Structure 1
Amino acid sequence: MTAPAAPGATSASHSLARRIVAAFVMMPVVLGALWLGHPYWTLLVALAAGMMAWEWRRLTAQGTVGAVGWAMVLLAAAAVLLLGFGQVPLALWALLGGALLLGLVASLGEGWVAGAWVSLGILYAGLPSLAMVWLRDDPVSGLATLLWVLFLVWAVDTAAYTAGKLIGGPKLIPRVSPSKTWAGLAGGAVGAAIIGYLAACWAGQPNPWLLTGLSLLLALAEQAGDIFESAVKRRFGVKDSSGLIPGHGGILDRVDGLVAVALIVAGFALWGGGSPLAVWGS
């Protein structure tokens, strides 16, 4: 006679099943919009930016949204749309100015700490979203760059989760994120390095180890972004940013690592003369 499964094991298996189903639904949508480019990619990222702002406001304001929260949603989404439709300076000024203005408004009604969280949330949702649209707009390497970025982030999350479960061992930062281990960090780095090497070979780069090394560093940034969001949630006593994605939590829970990676890659492209896939290409 087979012993019944433990309640914890059953719950974990159900959670994993929900995560897999949600991933199979989301990935075709994301990759399809990315492949088609503007306006589909712009609209999807604008929607995600608005949802990120909504989740941030709820997370940092004890579950409430209010007028300030909805203004955050509109501002983040509008900035992405402006940039996607060619208004780059206006998008940046709208986002930065809006972050300052809404932060001041929130400070008047809720105190300066709440205002600071509002301003930070607008930038947290808006700047990486602008980076994702701006990177895709490169007609030469935009698609390839974002495919590399997305698969790198997915590889880090998957490899870190797998290594952490299979190997376990010492915790990375138990007071902030109790589930993360040093083994998971190492596994994520290996996953990123593999994606970087494959992407460099696919792009025909004469020295694939350059992109491999950068991907390894981006894995650390991805994990740092994950830890930052965990610290914010712990600060406000929240487990998930929302329940929008079954088995995954919220949008912020899924893009916490992507936020950091997108900003770094966009910064490289801006000050390095182009995407690493193009600059280091053959």
Structure 2
Amino acid sequence: MTASDPQPGPRTSRAGRDLPAAIAVGLGLFIYVVITLAWWPVGFIVLLVALTSLGTIEVHQALLRIGMRSAIVPVVIGNVAIIGGSYAAAALQSVSKVPWHVVLLGTIGGTVLLALIWRMFGGAENYVKDSAASLFIIGYIPLLASFVGLILAEQHGVAKVVAVFVCVVASDVGGYAAGATLGRHAMAPNISPKKTWEGMAGSVVLASTLGILLSVYVLHQAWWFGLLLAVVVVVTGTAGDLIESLIKRDVGIKDMSSFLPGHGGVMDRLDSTLVAAPAAWLVFVLSGVAW
């Protein structure tokens, strides 16, 4: 190789991703999640808080592109308090006199109030627009993500979180496989042209199959519960993906950030889970699977 020869760079996928970095980051996160869910659930919440805090920064930076400046400091502080506080209250509800929903409402209300006051000192110009940005991030990330912690804090919460995550991953994998091979009819061409109804069907089939197996052999529930959980996760998870696509299209970006090498932004990985988590929590509660 001469000095004029091009130097080899990192291997990339067709989407332009750094494959070694993507594999390393994905594997590292997977190992950490498995270890913490199995032996140290608090460590999983620490990771959730860290990733969602980065997610709030990503959305803050994205909204800056359209002239909306959130009060990011109190939003990040509130993110820690909302997710960590509601999980702690739910996990300790047998010994604590403060119900988890009181902590959740209190931390959300406190975060909103702090964000409004924080922005107040910036003057009247764009106050409504900037405050709307803060409230949007609070409702979109810490509020929705808190339901992951609430599921984990329930009895046999690890099994429930695993079931939800497996259904989310199965939805992505099944949708990609079916969409890439059979996709003909666009589902939301104005939002995400690559999403097809055939891909949606693939998501439902794979997620339902795994959901039923997890329901019977892990959650020890009837097969229909796994089917119900899977369908709800697929529908809401797909909505979460489309919601993030709308945000990126509105502000004119491809990835939220480069916080996760080879993967893009944190929100590019959390979008489906954020919207699926409260829906899955509701399925557990309404179906009586609280044990």
Equivalent residues of 1:159, 1:187 under 8 A apart: yes
8 Å contact kept, 1:54–1:70: no
Counterpart contact for 1:54–1:65, Cα < 8 Å: no
Is contact 1:96–1:123 with CA below 8 Å preserved after alignment? no
Cα displacement (A) at 1:143: 0.8
The question of whether the paired residues in 2 share the 8 Å contact of 1:196 and 1:215 is answered with: yes
Cross-structure match for 1:168: 183
- Tell me whether 1:90 sits opposite 2:103 in the alignment: yes
How far apart in 2 are the matches of 1:66 and 1:231? 19
Q: Write the distance in 1 (CA, Å) between the matches of 2:273 and 2:235.
A: 12
Whichever of the two has the greater Rg, that structure is 2
Whether the 8 Å contact between 2:68 and 2:129 is mirrored in structure 1 is no
Which of 53, 56, 71 aligns to 2:59? It is 56
Give the Cα separation in 2 of the matches to 1:62 and 1:121.
15
How many residues are matched?
A: 267
Q: Report SS of the residue matched to 1:180.
A: strand
Distance 2:125 2:80 in 1: 24
Match of 1:228 in 2: 243
SS state of the match for residue 178, structure 1?
strand
Q: Deviations over 1:191-211 (max 9, x none)?
A: 210121111221374631232
**Alpha-carbon separation, structure 1, partners of 2:201 and 2:262:** 24
Q: Give the match for residue 17 of structure 2.
A: 15
**Which ranges of structure 1 fall in alignment gaps of 5 or more residues?**
1-8
Give, as a single letter, the amino acid of the residue that structure 1 aligns with 2:50. L
Task: Report the AA paired with residue 14 of structure 2.
Answer: A
Greater CA drift, 75-84 or 253-262: 75-84
Identity over the aligned pairs, expressed in percent?
A: 24
Per-residue deviation, residues 48-68 of structure 1 (Å, max 9, x unmatched): 221121111111112999782
User: For the Cα contact (< 8 Å) 1:58–1:64, is it kept in 2?
Assistant: no
The answer as to 2:261 corresponding to 1:246 is yes
SS at match of 1:179: strand
**Larger proportion of helix:** 1
Normalised to the residue count of structure 2, the TM-score between the two structures is 0.81
| 1:98 partner amino acid | T
Structure 2 unaligned residues grouped into runs of 5+: 1-10, 90-97
Deviation at 1:12, TM superposition (A): 0.7
Structure 2 residue identity aligned to 1:146: V
Q: Which residue is equivalent to 1:118?
A: 134
